[in-house]
Amino acid sequence: MRSSVFFYLTYTLCLCLSLLCVLFVICWSSRWRGGFSWDGSALQFNWHPVLMVSGLVVLYGNAAVVYRVPFTWRQRKYTWKLVHAGLMLLSLLVSVLGLCAVFDFHRGFHINDLYSLHSWVGICTVALFAFQWILGLAGFLFPCSSLWFRRNLKPVHVWVGKAILILSLTSCISGINEKLLLALSGEPYSSLPVEAKFANSLGLLIVAFGLVVFGILSINKWQRPETEGEGVHVSMDDSGHRTA
């Protein structure tokens, strides 16, 4: 009981940090960067940080911990596999849209793509994410996948999932820093104008969110227990039936 209460307190903190991350990045782009548009102007770029933070960090992190919520343990695991996969797909699509925003902006202003370390880390993160999602779909949702393949894929899937979250945090934080270095006008970054303080605070919120997600994922007692019924369904995979 005490563990469940502690989980829900931690999960509530995770949700609050999620909301704050999204609100802060929207406020930064609208208050100091001029708002949003999709016309190839500088305002189109402002969609990039909003979509990447919302998709690659917030949606991804919440999708990663959905199995840990105790009230889902009494329900069919296959249902929550679909929820997990759906949230991950939404996260991926939002992230790809964020990439489209910045690439289209670059074309309009004749700026080279993928020249900075931030962009290299970001594009590798999204590419690895897409590969992870496709492999997870084939391994855990397709009824024809073998039990041997699932058992061997699971630890790899978990490890790569955590690696993607680390890369997501890295790319977003480096992107905030790069934007401040390139776009601040009037006062230098080193003088810490109000915009820099606000954007730095956004970076700290992103770090805090990532730490809370990793905390939820690292506590073994918060793992979804494998029930006997689920074990029976999994063993039926080799006979061609869908797992629960």
The torsion region of residue 41 among left (phi > 0), alpha (psi -120 to 50) and beta comes to: beta
More confident residue, 231 or 123: 123
Predicted pLDDT of residue 3:
75
Question: Residue type for 60, please?
Answer: Y
Nearest residue to 242 via CA among 94, 140, 158:
140
CA angle 48, 49, 53 (to 5 degrees): 120
User: Residue 231: which pLDDT band, with cuts at 50, 70 and 90?
Assistant: very low
Q: Domain of 73: which CATH number?
A: 1.20.120.1770
Contact predicate 53/25, CB 8 Å: yes
More confident residue, 151 or 228: 151
More confident residue, 78 or 240: 78
50 in any annotated domain: yes
For the cut 50, the answer to whether the pLDDT of residue 135 exceeds it is yes
185 in any annotated domain: yes
Task: Tokens for 124, please give them.
Answer: 């590798």
Domain that holds residue 19: 2-239
User: Residue 241: which pLDDT band, with cuts at 50, 70 and 90?
Assistant: very low
SS3 148: helix
Query: For all residues of the chain together, what is the average pLDDT?
Result: 92
pLDDT tens digits, residue range 166-184? 999 999 999 999 999 999 9
Predicted pLDDT of residue 105:
96
CA–chain centroid gap for 128, Å, is 12
168 in any annotated domain: yes
244 in any annotated domain: no
Q: How large is the average pLDDT for residues 31-59?
A: 97
Predicted pLDDT of residue 227:
63
53 in any annotated domain: yes
Predicted pLDDT of residue 186:
82
pLDDT tens digits, residue range 61-91? 999 999 999 989 889 989 999 999 999 999 9
User: Domain count of the chain?
Assistant: 1
Show Cβ contacts of residue 127 under 8 Å, excluding neighbours closer than 6 positions: none
26 in any annotated domain: yes
